[in-house]
């Protein structure tokens, strides 16, 4: 790694030391310029400049391509955060494949990579995501290298799939019982226990819960603004307003009202802290195989069991497509008894929907929605 030292108010000195080369020193007006020079110089000293005979003969290494990919993302105003999942994907690729030139990466190399990752505890679906990231890296750095690069991932996919080393993730259907939720909450601090209850009440993600602010709360309508909700195509500006309901067994509005206003945020807790505390509480309570994200599934399922329509649930959950929403729904068969006995009332249907099944049009009250 290059050494960056501030030598004055607007002066940063960069020093690059690579075995077998003379140290390189240069001074810049900004730390950013010094760091960029250091990274580029280190890459050239290690692997040779793009277009040089050495670089073309052996080709760029996976480590070099991952570094170039980070540069591409930064140049496009989409830098990769150190907290992002893809940051860890890139780190694992560099750790296990980094020294190999991309032309040296074979199907056997990728199979060995997947076996190593599975041995380390990940599932084939995670191994697939990491190799997908490698394919993306190759595709978006070829222009930096100055020539097309072999797509080694797509060539290896059939064998890796057949061998069971990569595969799609299994849809989880784990739903906690109320006793399990109560047991977990009893092992948590009051504020984090309220975050768990709020996650079920609103079906919000932990990151969303931990960043909402008091300024996002509309007390007159009992609604909450969620900014930049997760979306595969558009996250920035993907805002949504949700009502704070009490249909899941937890009253979201009351949970918010009892939070002390000691910060701009309603729940001033880092989302990683919530995950760790939830994991430890599950272990302490003897609750097995329960993830915090399962609470989102639980909340959505409870909303449907309470008789809410697809449109109403998707308004709360933020899903724009039923195909994406339905994977979160695991209805309990016994809940249908309550709905059809009338102990849980379904919302009134719009007038355009016509009479309910089992009633003729003549039996329907004219001018009124059923």
**DSSP letter string, 210-229:** HH-BGGGEETTTTEEEE-S-
275: Cβ–Cβ under 8 A, 6 or more apart, which residues?
206, 292
- Residue 334 has a pLDDT of 60
Query: What pTM was estimated for this model as a whole?
Result: 0.56
- pLDDT mean for each 10 residues of the chain (370 residues): 82 82 81 81 66 53 93 85 84 94 92 94 91 95 86 92 87 87 96 96 91 94 86 61 92 95 93 91 94 91 87 81 63 58 46 38 36
135: Cβ–Cβ under 8 A, 6 or more apart, which residues?
151, 153, 154
Hey, what are 59's tokens?
């080709």
If you classify domain 178-349 with CATH, what class do you get? mainly alpha
Hey, what are 17's tokens?
């030391």
- Residue 313 has a pLDDT of 87
254: Cβ–Cβ under 8 A, 6 or more apart, which residues?
246
- Residue 259 has a pLDDT of 95
- Residue 144 has a pLDDT of 86
Are the C-beta atoms of residues 201 and 255 closer than 8 Å to each other?
yes
CA distance 251 to 6: 53
Q: Which residue is listed with tokens 């849980």?
A: 344
- Per-residue HEC secondary structure of 327-354 comes to HHCCCCCCHHHHHHHCCCCCCCCCHHHC
Compute the C-alpha angle 5/10/13, nearest 5°. Answer: 30
- Radius of gyration of the chain measured on its C-alpha atoms: 27
Q: Which residue is listed with tokens 């009502």?
A: 243
- Residue 256 has a pLDDT of 96
CA distance 90 to 314: 33
- Residue 191 has a pLDDT of 95
The CATH number of 60-170 is which of 1.10.150, 1.25.40, 3.30.460, 3.30.70? Answer: 1.10.150
The number of beta carbons lying within 10 Å of the beta carbon of residue 367 is 6
């Amino acid at each position: 790694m290059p050494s960056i030292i501030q030598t004055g108010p607007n002066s940063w000195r960069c020093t690059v030391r690579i075995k077998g080369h003379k140290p390189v020193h240069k001074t810049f007006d900004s730390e950013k310029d010094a760091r960029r020079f250091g990274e580029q110089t280190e890459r050239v000293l290690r692997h040779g400049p793009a277009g040089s005979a050495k670089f073309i003969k052996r080709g760029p290494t996976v480590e070099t391509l991952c570094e170039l990919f980070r540069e591409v993302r930064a140049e496009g105003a989409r830098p990769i955060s150190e907290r992002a999942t893809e940051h860890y994907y890139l780190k694992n690729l560099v750790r296990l494949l980094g020294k190999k030139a991309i032309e040296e990466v074979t199907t056997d190399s990728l199979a060995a990579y997947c076996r190593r990752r599975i041995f380390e505890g990940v599932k084939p679906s995670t191994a697939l995501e990491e190799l997908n990231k490698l394919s993306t890296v190759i595709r978006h750095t070829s222009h930096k290298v100055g020539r097309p690069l072999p797509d080694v991932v797509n060539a290896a996919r059939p064998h890796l799939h057949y061998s069971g080393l990569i595969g799609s993730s299994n849809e989880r259907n784990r739903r906690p019982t109320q006793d399990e939720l109560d047991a977990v909450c009893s092992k948590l601090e009051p504020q984090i226990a309220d975050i768990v209850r709020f996650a079920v009440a609103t079906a919000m993600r932990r990151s969303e819960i931990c960043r909402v602010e008091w300024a996002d709360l509309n007390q007159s309508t009992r609604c909450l603004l969620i900014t930049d909700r997760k979306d595969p195509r558009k996250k920035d500006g993907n805002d949504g307003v949700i009502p704070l309901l009490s249909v899941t067994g937890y009253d979201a509005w009351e949970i918010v009202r009892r939070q002390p206003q000691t910060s701009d945020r309603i729940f001033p807790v880092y989302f990683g802290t919530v995950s760790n505390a939830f994991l430890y509480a599950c272990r302490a309570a003897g609750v097995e195989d329960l993830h915090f994200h399962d609470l989102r599934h639980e909340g959505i399922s409870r909303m449907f069991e309470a008789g809410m329509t697809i449109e109403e649930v998707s308004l709360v959950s933020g899903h724009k497509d039923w195909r994406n929403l339905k994977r979160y729904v695991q209805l309990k068969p016994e809940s249908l008894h309550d709905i059809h006995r009338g102990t849980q009332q379904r919302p009134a249907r719009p007038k355009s929907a016509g009479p309910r099944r089992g009633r003729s049009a003549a039996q329907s009250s004219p001018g009124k929605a059923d």
